[in-house]
Structure 1
Amino acid sequence: MSMIPTSFFVMGIASFFFKVIHILLLTNLSMAVPASVNRAAALEINKAGPYIGLIMADQTEEQTLLAAGVFLPCAINPWLDFSGRRFNIGSINGQKIIYVRCGQRRLNAGVTTQMLIDLFDIAGVVHYGTAGNANNSLSIGDVSVPKYIAYTGSWKWTKFGTKMVGDQLGYLHFGNYDVPVGNKTNLLSNIVFQPEEFFSENSEMQEIFWLEATRKWFYTASKLEGLKLEGCVNSTFCLPEPPKVVVGLNASSADIFVDNAAFRGFLFNHFQVASVDEESAAIAMICQSSNLPVIVFRGLSDLAGGDKENVSSMFSSLAAKNALTAAIAFLSLLQHATEGGGVPNALQLVDT
């Protein structure tokens, strides 16, 4: 009886394991986790709810939260991935939190907020991030807590020669911005700002332009005026004036990064907005459609289009840090307002 070489067995076993690993890799690459599995996991997570939703838009704002060391991940279910978003489950100073980075601009913000609300037991949403400054009385590093937010990216672009008459929400006539100044005739004509169609559970569709922050939460946020904020980018570079929390101004939100002084001036003069961003209106509208309280904290990183240099990248971390500081302070006030700690009950969250 002839002996089979040992190398034959080695090669055979190696080939077998290679085929198994290859099949497993192909299976993992071709099959995503079913949505039903993630929804089942969300139901399990919701047993520990309700939670406050915390939403930020970009990586700098998320890294600011992680660097602060205040978010404590849940030991059992620290996160849930769904449709490319990671929903992080945990707490901040005892307050149950689910935070998610939504991505920039309106569509990402709206879709992510709706997923957060649909998947989880959410009692309300806190949104923080950076913004451009549209109000010369404010400074870099200040945090604006708007009472009203308008989506200023919905326009009707008129035909050349259209004469603007009657009561409008607001319109921009391009001829007013010709250089050198001419007869104010411009082929781009006008853009007329349009209201949004607002749908909610308890009323018919309405056309609205301004979204109001939840009144009870806004009143709570008003107690943050005087909160100490970070005034230094590093050990050698500090702001000339201590930054502050300003409550009750207007905000403009659109799928537009405003880096133009003339347009910034137009928004301030026509709508009296103090800050410009790309996500707040979408997040506020989704929450209000579901009758959930919402509040926004935006740290000012630049004078939108008014700076000689591009300073938004220089001050974005500082602005994000200050916005987060205000948001965490608000969560603490919310925590103290509850009966016996935990997330506020339904009666405490009703807008009055």
Structure 2
Amino acid sequence: MRPSFPSLAALILACLFLVVSPALAQRLDETPRVAVISAFPPEIGALNAATSEQKTFDVHGVRFVTGKLEGKPVVVFLSGVSMVNAAMTTQMALDRFNITRIVFSGIAGGVDEGLDIGDVVVADQWAQNLESAFARETDKGFEVSPSIRNSTLANYGMIYPRAIILPGTDLSSPARVWFPADPALLATARKVAAEVALQRCSADKCLVHPPKVVVGGKGVSAPVFLDNAGYRKYLRATFEARVVDMESAAVAHVALVNATPFIAFRSLSDLAGGGAGANEMHTFMALASDNSATVVKAFVRALPN
């Protein structure tokens, strides 16, 4: 019997679903795991070395490593540098693994004048500081249409911060500037903060002040490496930021949409343009990466099963 056209169409769609959907988001592992993420190789070395029972999965060139870190099931991977990479790879992990919590570990630039290189900052909320409108310059100064500017945050020259309208909402829905870290994870981080010992020296370079773990405050992220004293001051004054990086707010955004608890640990490798001399990142990157990993390992160990 020849199938009717609707039946044939349904059959074709079913076949396409069977062929295409596994390639789009095939679950690779069902064990509940903590996602442990860093942006680029120098940040993740200590975490990879501490992960046992490793099994590797390659998805479109992204290497996901399952195993145990401090006795807890994890999937460890690199997000890639900057916002789009971080959002993409985090969603890839959420689609393919049973992720219960997301933990980011890495380096960052210090914005708060009360912090020093080597300190580990655990912000309780993150903003995308260059989600913005570049204003038209007129004889009266910079002008932005009210329909475009939806944030009351102060501008930096032509750059006017904007809030973000989440997927699935219309243009009249409330927009969001801040994306939160999970309160329960922050509470665990506070318990751990007083217990970890951080490195003060790496090779022939030592920090002026003993590093510390600071939990709370605000962080910002953008697809820009910041090494500018003026904009650094602006971020501190306008966003009340303590730390700036290139990934955390993007991961926090993805985590919120997927209703998955998130937290980020960022050790200061430089002062984002606030230092007296050249940028300090390449001098203290290894030390900062190891300090962040040290706190993350203690944090994962302290997580409830």
Q: Which residue of 2 aligns with 1:305?
A: 273
Q: Which residue of 2 aligns with 1:127?
A: 104
Aligned residue pair count: 276
Q: Which residue of 1 aligns with 2:220?
A: 252
1:257-293 per-residue CA deviation (whole Å, 9 max, x = no partner) reads 1100000000001111011001001111111111110
Alignment counterpart, residue 286 of structure 1, candidates 254, 270, 273 = 254
**3-state SS of the aligned residue for 2:165?**
strand
1:60-100 per-residue CA deviation (whole Å, 9 max, x = no partner) reads 1122323xx311133xxx11111110110111121001011
Whichever residue aligns with residue 228 of structure 1, its letter is: A
Give 1:1-352 correspondences, 5 Å limit: 36=22, 42-43=27-28, 45-46=29-30, 49-66=31-48, 69-74=49-54, 78-160=55-137, 161-162=141-142, 168-174=151-157, 190-199=158-167, 206-226=174-194, 227-234=196-203, 236-307=204-275, 308-334=277-303, 337-338=304-305
* Conserved? CA contact 1:35–1:82, under 8 Å: no
What CA RMSD, in Å, does the superposition of the two structures yield over aligned residues?
A: 2.4
Higher strand share: 2
**3-state SS of the aligned residue for 1:265?**
helix
Whichever residue aligns with residue 129 of structure 2, its letter is: T
Whichever residue aligns with residue 237 of structure 1, its letter is: K
**Shift in alpha-carbon separation, 1:288–1:91, aligned structure 2, 3 A:** same
Whichever residue aligns with residue 303 of structure 1, its letter is: L
**1:38 to partner: Cα distance:** 9.6
Distance in 1 between residues matched to 2:88 and 2:97, nearest whole Å: 14
**3-state SS of the aligned residue for 2:283?**
helix
**1:198 to partner: Cα distance:** 2.2
**1:206 to partner: Cα distance:** 4.5
Distance in 1 between residues matched to 2:52 and 2:156, nearest whole Å: 51
**1:205 to partner: Cα distance:** 6.1
Distance in 2 between residues matched to 1:294 and 1:173, nearest whole Å: 29
Whichever residue aligns with residue 296 of structure 2, its letter is: A
Distance in 2 between residues matched to 1:129 and 1:205, nearest whole Å: 34
Distance in 2 between residues matched to 1:133 and 1:169, nearest whole Å: 24
**3-state SS of the aligned residue for 2:205?**
coil
Distance in 2 between residues matched to 1:313 and 1:162, nearest whole Å: 37
Distance in 2 between residues matched to 1:255 and 1:322, nearest whole Å: 24
Distance in 1 between residues matched to 2:168 and 2:255, nearest whole Å: 10
Q: Structure 2 regions of 5+ residues with no counterpart?
A: 1-19
**1:167 to partner: Cα distance:** 9.1
1:98-156 per-residue CA deviation (whole Å, 9 max, x = no partner) reads 01101000000000000000011111111111000011110000000001111111111
TM-score (norm 2): 0.84
* Conserved? CA contact 1:171–1:192, under 8 Å: yes
1:150-190 per-residue CA deviation (whole Å, 9 max, x = no partner) reads 1111111111123689994323343xxxxxxxxxxxxxxx2
**3-state SS of the aligned residue for 2:201?**
coil
* Conserved? CA contact 2:132–2:160, under 8 Å: yes
Distance in 1 between residues matched to 2:161 and 2:223, nearest whole Å: 14
1:188-218 per-residue CA deviation (whole Å, 9 max, x = no partner) reads xx221001122489xx964100111111111
Distance in 1 between residues matched to 2:244 and 2:153, nearest whole Å: 17
**3-state SS of the aligned residue for 1:223?**
helix
* Conserved? CA contact 1:38–1:81, under 8 Å: no
* Conserved? CA contact 2:126–2:180, under 8 Å: yes
**Shift in alpha-carbon separation, 1:36–1:259, aligned structure 2, 3 A:** same
* Conserved? CA contact 1:200–1:289, under 8 Å: no
Over alpha carbons, which structure has the higher Rg? 1
TM-score (norm 1): 0.73
